Structure 1
Amino acid sequence: MKRDSYESIERTKKGFEESFKSGTFYNEQTQDQNHLELILNFLNISPGMNVLDLGTGTGYLAFPIAGKYPEAEVTGLDIVENALNHNRKRSETEGLRNLIFLSYDGLAFPFADETFDLVITRYALHHFPQIADTFHEINRVLKPNGKLFLADPAPNDNDDKRFVDAYMQMKKDGHIKFYTKEEWLKLGELTGLQFADSFETQIRFPKKKENAPEFDEIIHRFDQQVIAGYDIEITESEIWITEKVNNLLFQKRNGENL
């Protein structure tokens, strides 16, 4: 099982390294200023808090949080060294002394128990091969009553055969699956994280046709009504798709390390 997990992590790492090398396409397609503002206003961050940005990528959440809350300590954690090195240089340039970036193996977090007041993660968890183990790690590093905020795309309600996952897996970047809100709530309940609040948004982004060689075959394999629900638009060089996004807040049940 661990071997399969590490192979998946290596695919993810390779896929994102290639994306970063190819320019700003990936970063631009996932940017959403309205969503970012919603998240920043939703999170109740106060001075002295210790915040972990899990799967930080380009630091899309880490940088604005560190800038807005200079008396909070922010740590960005990821497996992609190229992105982390770029983030470290940017953090130094911007003089953000409350922000650091660390790498890890994609499974075990390199932190002591009860280190963080808040764990945040955006558009990352669908790449994690052992999601229950990840939730246990989140529980472990959270302080009593600490919180987890996650934002991740979700399948449409009628997509029980998961067209959207087959579509996302064409890129070969380690995509595992998108989870429904109910699946997230069950994971939280099993790992000592109690649901606290939520809101729903959407993301509409392109995939380069060159990264979707199996698209025609996938389109014909799934129900057309299901596919239509994702509002797919095909241009000369790109495929656009709309996905809803779950934004969920959990709180660690007091004193529970599972």
Structure 2
Amino acid sequence: MNILAAGPLAGRAVLVTGASRGIGAATARVIHRDGGTVVVHYASNERAAKNLAEELGGTRVHLVQGDLTDPAATRDVWAEAVRVCGRIDVLVNNAGAWIASPIDDESEWNEGWTRNLALNLTAPADLTRYAITHFREHGGGAVVTVASRSSHRGDDADHLAYGAAKGAILALTRGVARGFAGDDILAYAVAPGWVATDLADDAVTSGAAAALPLGEVTPPQDVAETIAFLASGRARHATGATVDITGADYVR
């Protein structure tokens, strides 16, 4: 990695899952801007990932591909990230999807739960496990996981599995923070509401956005800046915390 880069993340290697678009791509940009080496994970959108790598340029960006619904592929993603950087200092569990689990169709219900748990819970849990083992050998590290407003309040009737998976992510984060602080391993979550990504395009109309307290859907940059701050180590004693990023649409 290029240790000559300046900034609060200089010398740190950060794996960002689901980084080819949306919050993940914004996070990769901020980490790179702040001096970090970023491993851009993508599942299938190779073109977008390569475009992002070309945009960032230099030696402080690497690409790794893998289907995180496959436990073996998830393990390989972590191993490749460590290989290309030598070590990983921060894991950003961003990859996820708002997958429906409609209650009136048993097949769709079962499929929805299987896919939600695989991508939104099991994959970040497995990566967190790999990260903890790695961090113990390298003097510590941090995990920042993207949860959701749904983690607190649940989701709608067609997305019960999504809300449940995202709620479990907060329990995972708190448990890691409490269990591994003695190893200088920090764990945080961020819980966005509607963010201006393609995931929200069909769910939030312009009229609905205007009704939000700030009159707009949260930009991905706001989430990315928060993730980068937590990744920098400047808030060690906030470990275990969840930062809500909803533009006051959901306040607790």
Verify same fold: TM over 0.5: no
TM-score w.r.t. the length of structure 1 is: 0.40
Scaled by the length of structure 2, the TM-score of the pair is 0.41
Structure label with greater radius of gyration = 1
